[in-house]
Amino acid sequence: MSKIDDITIMNAWMFPTVFADERNLKLTKQLIEICMNRKIESIQQASVEHHVKPRLNSHGTRFDVKFVGDKEIYIVELQLYREYLLERAEYYHALEKVASFRPGEPYSSLKKTVVIFICNFDFFGLNEGRYVYKSGLVDHPELNFESHSTTIFLNTKGITKDKLLCSLLRLFETNQTSDEFTEKIKQAVEEVKRNDRKRESYMNYEEMVAWEAEHRALGIARGIAQKLAKDMAVDMAADMAESEKQTICKNMLSENLDISLVAKVTGYSIDEILEMQKNM
């Protein structure tokens, strides 16, 4: 865990604290525009640690930050792990579309969804600073239509000719500013650190994360212990079964029964039975 004075915008608590603040929505709008390399409509709403679960028995998820615009919904997430990133992106799009589509609404009112992953690794391995993934007709590119689901992968270690994006990636990777926009982000971070209520909120967050990590570790340890106990029980049962089988084999041999019959009943090979008979 890091003390609040040492953390940067890439901290899982600091990032949504800065960009979901209503006073920083203009800053957030510019962030999304740089990530998408185009202008977007105004953002009216932002939510932090937004939890989505359409049904009680379905798999839910929790977004770092979600922003709602007139025509699009933007989900922005910091990513430290590369596992199942494409699958998660597809699920995020589907989940948010289901959650935001109200009964009785026409399909024309269905909002487009944009998922932005800010990664401290190169997911595709091409050394690019930005990758844009959209659904389309691969077999017939001439028929491709406007996608309603866009996923953007930022690689903080990547290279780009886009000066604004380059500056943003540098801030994410090294915490160094190189233009007015990144300087504003860093100033917003420092304002959070000077706010006593925010500092208390961060302390509570650290305690919650520590508690979750402790109980997750206890759960893993408990699961390992249960598996070991189960494996030991299986091994003991197997040993008991082997012992009983040997007893049956020896009893049959002591009655001078045909060895082929003994083999058929016990499952031992002829050589194993002869060796056992030799040692009796």
130 and 64 in one domain? yes
**220-246 pLDDT tens trace:** 667 776 766 666 666 655 665 777 888
Average pLDDT over residues 91-113: 87
Report if residue 208 sits inside a domain: no
User: Contacts for 40-45 with beta carbons within 8 Å, 24 or more apart?
Assistant: 40/69, 40/72, 40/74, 41/69, 41/70, 41/71, 41/72, 42/69, 42/70, 43/67, 43/68, 43/69, 43/74, 44/68, 44/69, 44/70
**64-87 pLDDT tens trace:** 788 888 889 999 999 988 889 999
- 131 pLDDT band (50/70/90 cuts)? very high
pTM of the predicted structure, to 2 decimals: 0.71
- 250 pLDDT band (50/70/90 cuts)? confident
Structure tokens at 205: 């967050």
- CA nearest 131: which of 158, 154, 161? 154
249 and 179 in one domain? no
Give residue 226's domain range. 217-279
Report if residue 49 sits inside a domain: yes
225 and 187 in one domain? no
Query: Of 194, 225, 254, which closes a domain?
Result: 194
Report if residue 125 sits inside a domain: yes
Please determine, for residue 210, whether its predicted confidence score (pLDDT) is greater than 90: no
Average pLDDT over residues 244-249: 82
For residue 154, list its beta bridge partners: 118, 130
235 and 188 in one domain? no
Domain count, the chain: 2
pLDDT, averaged across the chain: 84
What sign results for the dihedral spanned by CA atoms 143, 87, 165, 14?
Answer: positive
Q: What span, in angstroms and rounded, lies between the C-alpha atoms of 81 and 63? A: 15
228 and 183 in one domain? no
Residue 109: the pLDDT is 85
119 and 15 in one domain? yes
Report if residue 255 sits inside a domain: yes
Average pLDDT over residues 91-120: 89
